[in-house]
Amino acid sequence: MISSITASGGPLTFRRDLDPNALRLSRRKTFISLLRSCKNIAQVPPIHAKIIRTFHGQDAFVVFELIRICSTLGSIDYAYDVFRYVSNPNVYLYTAMIDGFVTSNRSADGAALYSRMIDDSIMPDNYVITSVLRACDLEECREIQGQVLKLGFGSCRSVRLKLMEVYGRYGELVDAKKVFDEMPERDEVAATVMINCYSECGSIEEALELFKDVKVKDTVCWTAMIDGLVRNKEMNKALELFREMQMGNVSPNEFTAVCILSACSDLGALELGRWVYSFVESQRITLSNFVGNALINMYSRCGDINEAKRVFKGMLDKDVVSYNTIISGLAMHGESFEAIKEFRDMVNRGFRPNQVTLVALLNACSHGGFLDIGLEVFNSTERVFDVEPQIEHYGCVVDLLGRVGRLEEAYRFIENMPMEPDHIMLGALLSACKIHGNVELGEKVAKRLIESEDSDSGTYVLLSSIYASSGKWKESNEIRGSMRDSGIDKEPGCSTIEVNNQIHEFLVGDTTHPEKEAIYQRLQELVRVLRFKDVMLYINDM
């Protein structure tokens, strides 16, 4: 005799001429296989209904898979409904449910469920402890560490690694290091976790010291250290470490490539970025969205927008980040009309713009002087795109109005905002006042900046320049004098140049470069050449 149902596009059949145990195992296997084939949550209820009708609603193996699939498909509430109807959930079902809560960003529910499990006298294992630690705050982490020691899981490697991560996340480096030091196996995996802890907290020297002590370093360990340097703005050191990685014949992965491309973007090292791209291709590293987006960002920030567009067009699976990056790059290079076209293409392809998208688009409108389009975009952020405007969006509008000379309107816009303006917004308006020669409003904006205590040397320099450009030399000198009296130093200008894949940085008056004598000699030669050309031009004009 055969019984059948239809679910997930095909008939599900069970043979009833088997003995009960074999039939139960056959059904279990079929249900688990069918659940794993589900592509969306709508396919689950028919299978769930058959599970209940065939008395498998309390089968721990089937329920485990049901909870896992519902969580994976983004329906954590459905998963919890399934869990609640299990009479005596075991530790594996608790683990599946807690893990589902954590991955669904409902950490508090995961921690509460773990407490309930303990209250129900269900003995945890290392898997559930590892899972719940991801949901813990610092106090809960300390409590669980006490339980770990009492239950005898103190030597469990996965638990110790997760404890280190939690302590590192909350900046408790002493506790993280203590767990690390007590580990019987302090190999490259444990060292990588500890390096990440140091990097997260800005203790980059300690991270480097630990990294040097690791005898056998794998790709993940090298990448973690390079990433730590990049996140702590030590770009040159990151590039040096990447060269060491190559000399050690350690193959990079896509994460390594993205870290190095980020360093190149920050330093403006276009040639090195191009070399990294060739290296990525030679190593057959997949050009995923992750790598592709980093390449677009690198080329855009290093000045080669055409190459950025080429990479973007060659990407097969673009995502929202891809569009955000190319729109930002086009805006940065003044290709505002192209940026607007890409935005329209993004919307037409069904991608939902987010806050970053709209900031990039507003910047494009600002750089292109498209006032009407920019104001229309801003007014549509909440109504059309369901994005609540943030201070960055307001700042873009102020910049847009300032660029086209509507300074009083920009100031009224600031006055009517639902939040206080930041120094970036006021600085942009002050800069616009200088460009358009509005001394009165410039004074008012500068005064607000100085009173907010967010002002820096740039505020004083801009205001002094506004006075100077309108012929108010006395006021200009007074501003410079108050700047000196307040002990505010103008930040020195900085230039970088890339030579043979190495970045050289120069500050105004810098004398620390090893080739300083040759550099200054060459500068003097260039000055003499320029002066000679000026003289020749003067003579020719006579």
Q: What is the pLDDT of residues 428-446, one digit of tens each?
A: 888 888 888 887 887 787 7
Asked if residue 95 lies in contact with residue 127, where contact means CB atoms within 8 angstroms, the answer is yes
Residue 348: partners with Cβ closer than 8 Å, 6 or more residues away: none
Asked if residue 352 lies in contact with residue 320, where contact means CB atoms within 8 angstroms, the answer is yes
Domain 391-493, second-level architecture = Alpha Horseshoe (1.25)
Which sign does the torsion angle of CA 300, 303, 309, 314 carry? negative
pLDDT interval class at 6 (50, 70, 90): very low
Report, as an integer, the average pLDDT of 143-170.
Answer: 84
Report, as an integer, the average pLDDT of 515-530.
Answer: 77
- Residue 385 above 50 pLDDT? yes
pLDDT interval class at 147 (50, 70, 90): confident
Q: What is the pLDDT of residues 253-287, one digit of tens each?
A: 889 989 999 999 988 888 888 888 887 777 776 67
Provide the mean pLDDT of the chain: 84
pLDDT interval class at 27 (50, 70, 90): confident
Taking CA atoms, 452 is separated from 280, 420, 456, in Å, by: 47, 10, 11
Please give the pLDDT value at position 456: 57
Torsion of CA 373, 376, 378, 384, to 10 degrees: -130
Report, as an integer, the average pLDDT of 376-386.
Answer: 90
Q: What is the pTM of this model?
A: 0.71
pLDDT interval class at 517 (50, 70, 90): confident
SS3 assignment, position 496: strand
- The half-sphere exposure of 437 on its side-chain side, counting CA atoms within 13 A, is 5
d(CA 304, CA 296): 9
Taking CA atoms, 202 is separated from 199, 230, 261, 294, in Å, by: 5, 11, 21, 23
pLDDT interval class at 136 (50, 70, 90): confident
H or E segment to which residue 234 belongs: none
SS3 assignment, position 125: coil
pLDDT interval class at 3 (50, 70, 90): very low
> DSSP state, 87?
S
Please give the pLDDT value at position 4: 42
User: Which has more confidence, 343 or 443?
Assistant: 343
- Residue 194 above 90 pLDDT? yes
- Residue 62 above 90 pLDDT? yes
Please give the pLDDT value at position 46: 93
How crowded is residue 405: how many other Cβ atoms within 10 Å of its Cβ?
14
